[in-house]
Amino acid sequence: MRDVAVIGVGLTKFGELWDKSFRQLIAEAGSKAILDAKIEGKDIDALYVGSMSSGRFVDQEHIGALVAEVSGFSQLHIPATRVEGACASGSLAIREGYLSIASGINDVVVVGGIEKMNDVGGSEATDILAAASDQEWEAFFGATFPGIYAMIATRHMHEYGTTKQQLAQVAVKNHANGVNNPYAQYQSAISLESVMKATMVAYPLGLMDCSPVSDGAASVVLCAADKAKKFTDKPVKIIGSGQASDTLALHGRRDICTLDATVHAAKMAYNQANVTPKDIDFAEVHDCFTIAEICAIEDLGFIEKGKGGTAIDNKITTMDGSLPVNTSGGLKAKGHPVGATGVAQIVELTLQLRNEAGKRQVKDARIGLAHNVGGSGATCVVHIMEGM
């Protein structure tokens, strides 16, 4: 298997982007990544794009070929493939691109992720997202994602004594990080009190415990590591890639406070990278709801099971802590255009490892981890990256 590096990244601003079309978002993120990588169309062997539900959000399917078209590559007839795995669609697209280079089939691959979620109303967006849960056992009975994660949260509180205040502190931290990310949907600090008093969505999760409904796109250029220096002097290597699956519905799980797919995907990535959780300097984890970040830092092996809330109290995951988590603002503050999220996490890891993260730069960042979840944990993808 060959080593693979990221040689270029591009991002649109995340948010309610009424003035930009789906096509414009794809083109903007893709062209930024291509310019950053200093490649041309003739260098590209394949395109992969992650999108969860472009058909229902903007009535457009068949977006693999569309990405090639809006990028101006139609006449090059580059193989272009869409990948779907709910909110993990973006990191699945990264992994498909990664595998195609590692296998020796491709040398240079452009990966994109996109979702434009605000063209439909709030309740329709909730309904579309719920299609990634188990329709027969969850969505049909009204269990939307805020409700499903609320069940995980109340169980975590019952089993381990986790408090609503500890959940709220995750949101406060991620909004504080979002202040320093010019691409974030929310670049505003929030107080603990405002999170605690926010409108209840599904107990114990209030409005400020939830990631928002977002528009946005992200793109990265992957390249065989031994050819990367031909294009850039700052490649960042993917040293571990793991993926795992689990039941769609919560009730089929061994333990609803543990995302076993995260545990397995992380194990696969750590083994390949030959590192342990202690070697990770910073991480972008899937905080679609505040409880999800607490479960993630436990399931990734950073913190003992059940102690995630205490770790938040002890500020281990803040910018100044021993393991900064979600330096970009995470899904909570940066925004969560679902298909783009996994790709945007790789953009953040790359910027950090290139020492280009500006005011949110993690000092001496050497190894970073990205963790992306589809649904409530039926699909999980973990990537580990290191500067070259």
- Give residues in contact with ligand COA (CB under 6 A): 87, 122, 126, 129, 145-146, 186, 201, 207-208, 210-213, 288, 336
Q: Are 114 and 337 in contact (CB under 8 A)?
A: yes
Q: Between residues 48 and 186, which has the closer beta carbon with respect to ligand COA?
A: 186
**DSSP line for 140-181:** GGT--HHHHHHHHHHHHHHHH---HHHHHHHHHHHHHHHTT-
Q: Is residue 367 within a helix (H) or strand (E), and if so which, with residue range?
A: strand 367-374
Check whether the bond before 204 is cis (ω within 30° of 0).
Answer: yes
Closest alpha carbon to 342 in 97, 160, 123:
97
Residues paired with 39 in a beta bridge: none
Q: Are 229 and 235 within 8 A, CB to CB?
A: yes
Q: Rounding to the nearest 10 degrees, give the CA dihedral for residues 76, 81, 87, 92.
A: -100
Residue 156 bears catalytic tag? no
Compute the least distance from the CB of residue 88 to ligand COA, in Å.
10
Q: Which is nearer to ligand COA, 146 or 240 (CB)?
A: 146
Annotation marks residue 87 as catalytic: yes
Residue 47 or 168: the one with the smaller Cβ distance to ligand COA is 168
User: Taking the complex as a whole, how short is the minimal distance between the CB of residue 291 and ligand COA, in angstroms?
Assistant: 11
Least distance CB 158 / ligand COA (angstroms): 22
Min CB(81)–ligand COA separation in Å: 24
Catalytic residue among 156, 264, 286, 336: 336
Residue among 205 and 224 whose Cβ is closer to ligand COA? 205
Closest CA to 115 of 370, 383, 378, 335: 335
Catalytically annotated residues: 87, 336
